Structure 1
Amino acid sequence: MIPITPIFIRSKEILKELSSLLDEERLAYGKLDSEIIINLSEQKQTLLDEMNQLNEKRINVLIKFDVVDRKKPTEEAFKNWLNTQDSSMDNIRLLMQDCEALLKQCKIKNNTNARILNTLQKRNKHLFELLQGHSSKNKVYTARGSTRPISSKHTLGRA
């Protein structure tokens, strides 16, 4: 039997932790707490690094047992091999399905957080331009072809 069950079990644990961190991140964006956001991003990076190591370990085990091609190991080849196995591999099939469902959930949450972050960045940029007396409508071209805002005489800093 191929020893990949512990790898899938740990992957499932990591994906659950990642999902929880993504929920916390969304809440931190709502509170605009940069310390929490930075801390969460470090935790996410640690989990993602461990997940990458687990995937490499899994691929190496599958190559060692001649389940996938040494030169070009693919997820599809592993799934095809897994589908041809008897019921003794049902545990791995279930773990793999759980991991795929959790991964899909994490991707959705991550995309949602990315949209929230993008909106916050646009809002902050707009507010910063207002404080400087710039307007996105009042821009001119420079000699190099880029644009720069025209300063207003009525900035909040001068008021």
Structure 2
Amino acid sequence: MIPIAPIFIKSKGILIELSQLLDEERSAYGEQNSENIIALAEKKQTLLDEMNELNEKRIKVLVKFDVVDRKNPTEEEFKSWLKLQDSSMDEVRLLMKECEALLKSCKTKNNTNAQILSTLQKRNKHLYELLQGHSTKNKVYTSRGSTRPISSKQTLGRA
């Protein structure tokens, strides 16, 4: 029997932790706590690195047992092989389905967080431009052909 179940168990644990981390990240965006956001991003990167290592380990095991092609291992090849196996691989099938569901959830949460971050960045940029007295609507061409905002004489710093 191929020792692949422990890899999926670890992957599931990491995905659960990543999902919780993404929830925390969303809350941190709401609180606008930059230190917390940076710390969460570092933790997220660590978890993603661990997932990559586990995926490489899984591929090595599958190649070692001739489950997938050595030169071009694919997920579909593994899934096809798994369907043909007897009930002794039911645990792996279940773990794989759970990991796929968790991964889909994490992707959705990550996309939501990316949209929130984008909105916050746009808002902050707009507020910064207001403080400087710039307007995104009033722009002039430079000697090089690019555009830059016109400075207003009524900046908050001069008021």
Secondary structure of the structure 2 residue equivalent to 1:156:
coil
What's the offset of the Cα at 1:140?
1.2
Count of aligned pairs: 159
Give the counterpart letter for 1:25 in structure 2.
E
| Counterpart AA for 1:84 | L
Name the aligned partner's letter for residue 95 of structure 1: L
Cα-Cα RMSD: 0.5
The equivalent of 2:54 in structure 1 is: 54
Distance in structure 1 (CA, Å) of the matches to 2:29 and 2:97: 31
Q: Which runs of 5+ in 2 are unaligned?
A: none
Q: Aligned AA for 1:102?
A: L
Cα distance in 1 for partners of 2:144, 2:6 equals: 58
Q: How does 1:92-111 map to 2 (within 5 A)?
A: 92-111=92-111
The CA deviation at 1:142 is 1.6
1:83 maps to amino acid: K
Could you list the per-position Cα deviations for residues 36-88 of structure 1 after superposition, in whole angstroms to 9, with x for gaps in the alignment?
A: 00000000000000000000000000000000000000000000000000010
SS in structure 2 at match of 1:140: strand
CA drift at 1:146: 1.8
Q: Which runs of 5+ in 1 are unaligned?
A: none
Per-residue CA deviation, residues 122-148 of structure 1 (Å, 9 max, x unaligned), is: 000000000000000011122222211
Instruction: Look up the match of 1:133.
Output: 133
TM-score by length of 1: 0.99
- Where 2:66 maps in the other structure, the secondary structure is coil
Q: 1:117 aligns to what? A: 117
- Find runs of 4+ consecutive structure 1 residues off by over 2 angstroms: none
Quote the sequence identity (%). 79
Provide the C-alpha distance between the structure 1 equivalents of 2:66 and 2:145, rounded to a whole number of angstroms. 57
**For 1:148, what is the secondary structure of its paired residue?**
strand
One-letter code aligned to 1:20: Q
Q: Is 1:42 matched with 2:31?
A: no
Distance 1:142 1:82 in 2: 62
Q: What is the alpha-carbon distance in structure 2 between the residues aligned to residue 145 and residue 83 of structure 1? A: 61
The TM-score with structure 2 as length reference comes to 0.99
Name the residue aligned to 1:155.
Answer: 155
Q: Which residue of 1 aligns with 2:80?
A: 80
Offset from partner CA, 1:83-129 (integer Å, 9 cap, x none) = 00001000000000000000000000000000000000000000000
Note if 1:6 corresponds to 2:6: yes
